[in-house]
């Protein structure tokens, strides 16, 4: 073999060695890149799962909120401008009506209280006058007939006064002829009915009577219904019944 041939063979061998050496690092680099890619791909799978779970949780929360919203949400009523204007116009009228109503009720109750007080006052005054007049009516003394008769007339009015005036002359003579005398006392009395100007009183009266035919005193018990009327500020008997 010639020297040129040997030299060519050495050059070829050298080139082959250099190609093998340079190829090896390239292959190694490719393998490393493949490993990194595989590793990156393997690591990305858990992250994708986490993102999916988060998305599912968010969607579930949104669905829950959407379902819960109708239960808690309440429709809001928004009155029309016309209705609001009507309400503004009616508000003062209703306020005045309420004030007038309360004032009227208070006035009526006050009037009722005043009327009740007036009737109570009339009842008390008429009852006292009836008790006094019952004693005047059932007490008589022949020695003082004029004073007795005048007292009866002074305490009477209306129907009873007219009746007593008409019978007084005959009654006077009867008392004189029998030398009669009497003394009355009220045992019990009460108001049967009353208004501010008329009161009906029920009285139980004992009258002790003596005359020429009864040497011993006799007690007569009478039930008297007396109607009292107010005349010029005084309560007088307008009617006297002895049932």
pLDDT at 214: 82
Radius of gyration, alpha carbons of the chain = 64
What pTM, to 2 d.p., does this model score? 0.56
Spell out the domains of the chain, with CATH numbers in brackets: 113-241 (3.10.450.230)
DSSP type of residue 2: -
Condensed to tens digits (0 to 9), the pLDDT of residues 100-130 reads 666 666 666 675 666 789 999 999 999 999 9
Cα–Cα distances (Å) from 243 to 124, 165, 199, in that order, read 24, 21, 18
| CA-angle at 28, arms to 26 and 30, nearest 5° | 70
User: What is the model's pLDDT at position 85?
Assistant: 62
Residues of the chain predicted below pLDDT 50:
1-71
What gap in Å lies between CA 115 and CA 194, rounded to an integer?
Answer: 12
Cβ count within 10 A of residue 21: 9
Angle at which helix 81-138 crosses helix 145-154, to 10 degrees, equals: 170
């Amino acid at each position: 073999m010639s020297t040129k041939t040997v030299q060519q063979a050495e050059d070829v061998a050298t080139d082959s060695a250099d190609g093998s050496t340079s190829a090896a690092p390239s292959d190694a680099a490719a393998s490393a890149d493949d490993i990194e890619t595989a590793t990156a791909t393997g690591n990305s799978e858990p992250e994708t799962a986490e993102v999916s779970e988060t998305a599912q949780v968010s969607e579930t929360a949104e669905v829950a909120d959407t379902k819960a919203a109708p239960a808690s949400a309440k429709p809001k009523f928004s009155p029309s401008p016309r209705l609001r204007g009507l309400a503004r116009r009616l508000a003062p009228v209703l306020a005045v009506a309420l004030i007038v109503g309360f004032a009227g009720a208070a006035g009526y109750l006050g009037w009722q209280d005043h009327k009740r007080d007036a009737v109570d006052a009339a009842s008390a005054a008429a009852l006292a006058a009836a008790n006094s007049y019952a004693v005047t009516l059932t007490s008589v003394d022949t020695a003082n007939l004029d004073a007795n008769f005048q007292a009866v007339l002074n305490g009477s009015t209306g129907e009873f006064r007219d009746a007593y005036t008409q019978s007084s002359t005959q009654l006077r003579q009867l008392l004189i002829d029998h030398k009669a005398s009497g003394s009355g006392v009220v045992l019990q009395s009460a108001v049967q009915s009353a208004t501010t100007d008329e009161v009906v009183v029920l009285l139980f009266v004992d009258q002790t009577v003596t005359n020429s035919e009864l040497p011993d005193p006799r007690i007569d018990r009478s039930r008297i219904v007396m109607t009292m009327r107010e005349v010029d500020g005084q309560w007088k008997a307008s009617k006297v019944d002895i049932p």
